[in-house]
Structures are given as structure tokens and as C-alpha cells.
Structure 1
């Protein structure tokens, strides 16, 4: 285990905190409360979290340029104007399926975006993972219950994803120019031997995968071959996703959730839903802007 110090970065408790994304140009952290239909914004120098209400469930964000962001939502990919907060549909995805919503997503080094969908009640095998690049959308993998851990090796040659319901992490070889898979997925981590489930992940500049362990209250570091390097305890049981923050991407923030907790459970887990900062120097990476 680890003696890494952990502090509360934002004390705004999210029903389902997810999808953290860091904007290095403005030193700002963004993340979502999916079920609360909120986008959270924290300028790290200011220290006060801003809340933006959303008309739909959204789960992840990709940078476009100084004026725009791309939001992954329950009805598709929508452009958000940063100044006004207005949304514009770019491409509909499963908009005709009110039983599903978006979940995990991340941008490949090529600028392609991988994003997942799932049933709003976590219906078994109701979700999928999609690829978006320069206006085109393709479905990559079907029959996934809870898609998570979408992330990529530094050179873009490997993509990772998980089905939290199965508690399995996969890796798949990719075309570095397009982010498309070129082979079948390979099981890399079988997580059933450990408490909790494999949730969101990021990969640092050295190829180490950092995974938030939903229900396990910790952040795990894995090699590309699926070997556990270390585990860092966190103050909330249901942690959801890490992100590299800071100009040098040398710190980690982690979101969490109080989804499914009754009053007694929340009393026993008082930090649930908050966002945390790890006192740990890492060699991270900033996400590539998405190629529209």
C-alpha cells in the first residue's frame, strides 16, 4: 500500500462524479456530476468550484480550442461554447434510446475520441464503445455493460478499456494515425480477486496505467502487461476516475460518487462524491484536443 497524502480538492459532493478533464491553457479542472446533470469547473489558482447546470446527462469532455469544448452526452456529441455555456449538437449517438446514456471517454493522441454508452440502470450488455474522428462515428465494441478505463499508451499504439460489470481490463493494438483498433482485444487485468471494480483510468508518459477502483477506495497503478505496481488508499469508497493536472501534468486528481448510498452509508463515508488531490509527483500527460 502507500502513505501518499490525499486532500480534498473540491468539497462539492457529486451524486456521480465522473469524466475529469484538465485544461492546461487556463489551469482549470472540469468534471461532471452525471446524474445531477452538472458540469463542475475549478480554476486551480482560484480554489472555488463553479457549477453549470446541463439540460442532459453528460459524462466526459474533450478540448476543441480556446472557445469550445466537446461534451459526451446521453444523446450524442455536443459542442459547448465556454463563454455562454450554450450547447450545439454535433452528431447524435443513441439519441433514439432513452434507456442509455454516455459514460467514459478519452481522446487518442491522433485526435480521435473513444467514448462509451451504457444502460441508465446498468442493464446487462446494453452499452457500446464508439470512435469519433473528423465528423465520422463508428461503433467499435458492442454488448458492454459498463464501459470504463478508456485510455491510450503515449504513442497511441495501445488502447485500453474495461467493462466494470465484468471487472476486466482489456488492451487492443491501434493504428497510431487514426486511433482505430487493428486487432482483437486482449484481457490484461482480471479484477475479480480484488475488492471493487475497475473504473476510470489514465496512462502516464511512462506507460503506467492509473485506475480508480470503484468500491475499493483506492487508486491502483498497473504496468502495460497487467502487473500491479502500487495501490494508494483514497478517502471515499466509490472513486471513479483520475486525471493529470498542473502545467507539467505532474499531479493526480480523482473524482468520486455517492450513488446508491443511503443515509447510513453516506454517514459512514462522509467524503463520498468529493474530488481529491494526491500528494504524489507523477510523469503525466495532457489529453490531445479532439479533431472535429
Structure 2
């Protein structure tokens, strides 16, 4: 299979680009720069000029759609509803608000409308991270003792959840109740990443059930089968890709965020596109991340 066309969607360099989402109604892509407290907005039907950048009053790691007029933002002390029209924020529910040493990290919405969202130590301290299930304002801790929880994604039928501790390098799967997105069994090893540079970061699933992951530090995307095999590796022109999501009218394009976090001047010079956000004409149809249900 030939490599797809890859281009820079937005030239702005993100310190730590993350948390992308897509609104199919307005054909708009959204993502954040966690460390610089910025929210990015690009109408994909126009693709003219750079993204519109919105300043945020706190670090935000993930954008989930509620509807075309509202987002759910995962921030350092809780989940906030943001009104698209005027940027107003209102606290929806707290998340580790009592612990100033942690912040939110990777997240994804299950087909039930519930959110899985992770937390981690602000300096990636060992074992400070966790993954939570959020249904409406009901917050349930699922997994604890993680360091850099990432790769949260779900199978097309909602019966399997995926996640990884990037520090550990093991992609895990867990059987779920498809009606709620809650686990019905303990996690199992899906793929143990060894060999090659970098660590598995964010993930997105296509309609065939392949789990597409960004390999931070490895300058590539990897695809894993539902059976637990790595079936494809796609080079990308950024050293530190962070998170993919499917976008576009036919969901055959993939937006990939990236970061220059931790890179010195020499490393940045060796990686000319560092921190930029990419658009990959993947050619396989992905899944649209569901909207978060406020009343789940």
C-alpha cells in the first residue's frame, strides 16, 4: 500500500499539541496546546490560512464534542463546558481538583456517551496517573497507579476499550459493557511495544477496528489489529506525534497533533516540522468520536 499524502494543516508550533476532535456538522477540527493553554479551531471545508487560536485560562488536554455549540474540555482541575459562540467556560464537574500536583491528559468518548479521561502528575511522576469513567457528572475511577496514561480508544461495537501507560509501553485492552462503557473484566495485554524508538501516545480506531496510534519520539503512526498484531507503520514528518483523530466528510483523513516538549535547539533544528499539526489522507474510513452526553 503506497504511503498517503501528508501535509501541514496548521503551521503553528505546539509545545504539547493534544486532544483533537472533529465536528461533522460544521466540518471543524479542534485541538489544544496543553502547556501553552491554547485551543485551535480550523474549518476543514475552507482550509485557508492558519488556525484560529483561542487563549484558555488553564491547561486543557482534551476536547470532546457535546454538540456544535458546546465542547467538553478536560482541564487541570475538572471538566468544563465551553460555549463555542463566546468562549464562556462553566465547570461541569471536578476531577482531582484537590490534587494540585496532577492534571488531565488523554481522553475519548465511548459510544454510550460516557467519557474516559486520564490524569497524570504534572512532571510525569511514577504512579500518579489514573483513568476515570465520566457518565454525566458521575465520576468513577477505573485504573490507578499509571504514569503517563494514553491511547484511550474503543472498538467499533463498544465492547472493548484500549489504553496504554506510555512509560510502560504495553497497549492494554479491557472488555466493556457496550451500554455504559464500564469494564466487565480486568485489563489484558494487547500489544507489548518493544524495539524501535518512541512510545505509544494517543489513539484512534477505524471502522475495521484497527487501532491507530501516534508514536511519540518515533516519527510515525502504528496500526494494531483487534487480534493484537502491529500491521502497519506510517512515517510522519514530525519527531513527536501525539494524538490522531479521524476528520473530513468521509472520515478518511486523519488529523495528527505533535509537540516540541523536551526538545533542545539542536533537536528542533533536526525536526523542521516540530510541533505542527498534520493532515494525513489515510484512505481508510475512521470512526467519528461520539458526542459526550450531559445526561448519561
**TM-score, with normalisation over the residues of structure 1?**
0.98
Structure 1 segments, 4+ long, off by >2 Å, are 1-5, 45-48
Structure 2: segments with no counterpart, 5+ residues: none
For residues 255 and 38 of structure 2, the distance between their equivalents in structure 1, rounded to whole angstroms, comes to 18
Q: Are 2:149 and 1:147 aligned?
A: yes
* Match of residue 28 from structure 2: 28
For residues 211 and 4 of structure 1, the distance between their equivalents in structure 2, rounded to whole angstroms, comes to 16
Counterpart secondary structure, 1:123: coil
Q: Aligned-pair distance for 1:247? A: 1.6
Q: Aligned-pair distance for 1:285? A: 1.3
* Match of residue 255 from structure 1: 257
- 8 A Cα contact 2:4 2:283, kept in partner: no
Number of residue pairs the alignment of both structures matches: 292
**TM-score, with normalisation over the residues of structure 2?**
0.96
For residues 59 and 2 of structure 2, the distance between their equivalents in structure 1, rounded to whole angstroms, comes to 35
Q: Are 2:11 and 1:41 aligned?
A: no
Counterpart secondary structure, 1:276: strand
Q: Aligned-pair distance for 1:279? A: 2.6
* Match of residue 186 from structure 1: 188
Structure 1: segments with no counterpart, 5+ residues: none
* Match of residue 12 from structure 1: 12
* Match of residue 136 from structure 1: 138
**1:205-244: CA deviation from partner (whole Å, max 9, x where unpaired):** 1101101000000011110121111111000110001110
Q: Quick check: 144-153 or 94-103, which moved more?
A: 94-103
Counterpart secondary structure, 2:67: coil
Counterpart secondary structure, 1:36: coil
For residues 65 and 222 of structure 1, the distance between their equivalents in structure 2, rounded to whole angstroms, comes to 30
Q: Aligned-pair distance for 1:180? A: 0.1
CA RMSD between the two structures: 1.1
For residues 190 and 112 of structure 2, the distance between their equivalents in structure 1, rounded to whole angstroms, comes to 23
* Match of residue 93 from structure 1: 95
Q: Aligned-pair distance for 1:45? A: 2.4
Aligned ranges 1:53-202 → 2 under 5 Å: 53-202=55-204
